[in-house]
Homo-oligomer: A and B are copies of this chain.
Amino acid sequence: MRDVSDKKRANLRDVAKAAGVSVATVSRVLNTPDTVAPKTRENVQRVIADLKFMPSAAARAINSGRTRFVGALVPTLDNAIFASFLSALESTLAAQGLSLVVSTTGEDPQLEVDKARSLINIGAEGLILSGVAHAPELFDLIESTSFPTLATSFFDPEGPLPTIGYDNIDAAEMGIQYLKDQGHRKVAVVHGPVASNDRTRARIEGARSVTGVSIEFHEVPLSFEGAARALDQILSQTERPTAIACMSDVLAIGVLQKLQRLGMAVPGTFSLLGMDDLPIAAHTFPPLSTVHLPVKRMGTAAGMAIAQWLENGTVPKAHRLEPRMVVRESVARLSD
């Protein structure tokens, strides 16, 4: 009998009674310890320890209006690029006393809206979106509640939301321009699904913007299998490109492995360019030349920005992170 009642988590009143003080005093010991007399304080603290009392976060939240957690929406965790981003984001938030709730959307705008709504419902104080052609309903939701929301993985100073990210057009242009500088005039671009993915669309636009290079586009699922399929398409053509530019390292690595299996040399037969700069890119054979996207810094910046926003109400300005061309050994210099 006693055991059962003992099981229930102790609350403020229990502590107050056991310590022979009022609930206010206990609350003060927790929040403003220096306003209570040392003797009382120590007594209360002992009782708290004895009863293993933990204040209910929900009850606190109801008063302060602060839940101290933010939600992040990412398309998937299965691509290292997002995992890497979240990893940096989580550490940064943790250092600010905030927790991170993760939801995956699978690039589905409707699912994104639902999950966003759900995150807000359960009390997230802010939202961090990443890289999806967000459904208009989502903007309505965010705007109507003026909910602290940050968009990442792209940069757009004009957009309705503050963005922290890189310019995907630039990134792709930088990669293709590099290929051009190395003498490539015919390039195959391999990219993931375009539907409901504005980052990919921007990259295509960036690739197109480079003049003097003839480009063909291959849209495939964003996976190793997809990459292999793209390569099949490329090989089946009569007039082959000299370089393959992949809009994601996952695709580049898929292409690379398939080429090796076919016994085709990189950069001998094809030059190969990636984008993202996943950790593995430095360790492939040959090491992959790729456009580095600063996702770690993006995670840190997003974490800091949202923390500031929640703490001081300072709405972050759009924050642009520069992609960087990382030259390794997968692209050959073509002499004319």
Q: Could you tell me which A residues sit within 8 Å of B by CB distance? A: 7, 9, 52, 54-59, 61-62, 67-69, 76-78, 80, 83-84, 86-87, 90-91, 94, 99-104, 115, 118-123, 144-146, 223-224, 228, 253-254, 257-258, 260-261, 279-280, 282-286
Contact = CB atoms under 8 A, between A and B. Distances in A.
Nearest to A84: B78
B58 A123 contact: yes
Given A69-B101, A80-B83, A283 B224 contact: yes
Number of this chain's copies in the complex? 2
10 contacts: A57-B67, A58-B58, A67-B122, A77-B84, A77-B86, A77-B87, A90-B103, A91-B104, A99-B103, A101-B102
Given A58-B62, A279-B224, A99 B87 contact: no
Contact of A146 (B7, B61, B94, B260): B7
A77 to B, nearest CB: 4
A145 to B, nearest CB: 7
Contact of A253 (B61, B144, B261, B280): B280
B76 A67 contact: no
